[in-house]
Structure 1
């Protein structure tokens, strides 16, 4: 009990040192397989934030104690070893990777048990491939783990499965152009769905209908860097489709979208500027890996607005929108004229009643006054 309290106290007092620019540049060089002098850190501001956040989370918890010794250099060496094995297309298996790392001066077997080395490998993969691999801080708790029986390539491929192909006739239901107004701005306006940024690539376009939130993977520029890497860890088709979804939902030519990003992201771009231009009309059938999530979002987008606020702003069907507002106008005028008629009728009734009272008072006065008193009898 006392030991736990001491450990907790030490963690609270532990100071966190932000990774230096040179360390991040060296790591990005290994991750993207490019020379260090070609890494422009300002283009990876979003990734630097993610990288720092992971190290900060580790420093505040027990995980860093279990992973010691661990530095940026350890991460770089692990990724470079995986790259070396995978460069010629060979499969990378974890037992073979461990044996290779134990031969490195940074990973002596005396201070790197199988479990400790596995944890370091998983952390390196999490930082490199932006997937929730054994992630105790995953936002949706959808943590995944690599084992000793599956190659790294197969493990990653399983995270991005293509949907089962339907018959040619049924496949035609996806053969339509996604409209230009299918953007994040319109999704928020018409469907009441808010954006939740995620740092896990596999969570991209995960829609929560109950909370009305859509997860969007924000590090577009970094993933595009992985696409240009010398080795293909995440399938290029997956990244290409991801870029298309971002170009569709966040068009760079739309001023309202750019205003939204500036407001929500403030000083950080999160890679939303994107290195790829808008590719032109997109068919839903162009997507395979992200089709299910994209079609779910589009179906939600096409539903009637869930609230009156969204209904007032919904101009997707111009005729329907004008019909709605014409009906609102008619109802409004009917209510106004009804109120005016009610007020007029009330006033008329009031005036008639007052006239009746005056007439009765005059009649009563006439009966109460004798002829002599009234000067009507001649003497």
Structure 2
């Protein structure tokens, strides 16, 4: 498929061709459809557009078929250095030096890596703004770079051994006032930012599920499974209220609809010990949730973490409103009595 990387939007033929060659499932009946993978294909198109500005002079391939050829080498287990050595990049001008050519090759490989991982690979001007990059050195395969970056992180000790059922993305937003930032960069998943006032959540559940049935995924299967469990934890499918909230989020932010179908976790599966890669980020996020206090009437109404405190607060509000109401009634009644008394004493006054 020699369609240009700068062509947008991708045709339906190109989208189907990309899924067929870029991602090869273990069985033909597991092949994804362009509809189910539409969020990923939109991401693919936007990344290609971003890297291809200035007429594509920053890339050494100009078509989707060129990217697929590089992806095949990467998924076959070639190191970054081997992939770069295999690429011949013609100079953009007669004055182009070797450093510029090498930079173009590495930018192209970074683009391909970002398309395979849905992550920012490397540090350069084409990356996502304010996001965390994944480092990929020359002697590593992409799979090795992923395994090095996503190592088990269980250094933090949680206050409680298990996350309770109120620990959901909806409650993070409505109770704790933590802004949910839906991200296309899996490296930023569950990362708190803005002084603990926002958290990134990677929403491409269909992409993750499809990785489980590929012949050669760049992700370890245990990592994919754990990441999907974090989505089931924060976006439980069996709770009707979070689902309604999530459906509104899907519509508003054009999220992957599959993120609403990740299931839910039983109480014993919400224990911190069952998470290794995302353990420390979950501990930090749980602490931010527990330490938050309502800052408005809506947050006070939604905050049921302490039922005694919740009932006490609203009973006090009710008593205050009733006192105010009856005080107002008594004032009106007293004023009316004074007026009627004055009226009776001055019958001739209109």
TM-score normalised by the shorter chain: which range applies? 0.7 to 0.9
Partner of 1:361: none
Structure 1 residues 15 and 219, CA gap change in structure 2 (3 angstroms): closer
Q: Please say if residues 45 and 269 of structure 1, whose CA atoms lie closer than 8 Å, have aligned partners that are also in contact.
A: no
Partner of 1:180: 165
Q: Please say if residues 175 and 284 of structure 1, whose CA atoms lie closer than 8 Å, have aligned partners that are also in contact.
A: yes
Which structure would you say has the larger Rg?
1
Which structure dedicates a bigger proportion of its chain to helix? 1
Q: Distance in 2 between matches of 1:152 and 1:309?
A: 46
How far the C-alpha of 1:36 sits from its partner, in A, is 7.6
**Aligned Cα root-mean-square deviation (Å):** 3.4
Q: Distance in 1 between matches of 2:131 and 2:314?
A: 45
Q: Please say if residues 190 and 314 of structure 1, whose CA atoms lie closer than 8 Å, have aligned partners that are also in contact.
A: yes
Partner of 1:95: 81
Structure 1 residues 151 and 48, CA gap change in structure 2 (3 angstroms): closer
How far the C-alpha of 1:343 sits from its partner, in A, is 5.6
Q: Distance in 1 between matches of 2:84 and 2:90?
A: 10
Q: Please say if residues 133 and 187 of structure 2, whose CA atoms lie closer than 8 Å, have aligned partners that are also in contact.
A: no
Partner of 1:41: 34
Instruction: Check if 1:78 corresponds to 2:81.
Output: no
Where do 5+ consecutive residues of structure 1 fail to align?
Answer: 1-13, 87-91, 359-379
2:181 is paired with a residue of what secondary structure?
strand
Instruction: Check if 1:307 corresponds to 2:296.
Output: yes
Q: Distance in 2 between matches of 1:324 and 1:280?
A: 31
Instruction: Check if 1:126 corresponds to 2:114.
Output: yes
Q: Please say if residues 153 and 233 of structure 1, whose CA atoms lie closer than 8 Å, have aligned partners that are also in contact.
A: yes
Q: Equivalent of 1:277, from 241, 248, 263? A: 263
Q: Equivalent of 1:321, from 303, 310, 325? A: 310
TM-score by structure 1 length?
0.73
Partner of 2:45: 52
Q: Please say if residues 31 and 226 of structure 1, whose CA atoms lie closer than 8 Å, have aligned partners that are also in contact.
A: no
Q: Equivalent of 1:263, from 248, 251, 273? A: 248
Structure 1 residues 83 and 68, CA gap change in structure 2 (3 angstroms): closer
Partner of 2:319: 330
Moved more, 252-261 or 49-58: 252-261
Partner of 1:148: 138
Partner of 1:227: 212
Q: Distance in 2 between matches of 1:30 and 1:233?
A: 15
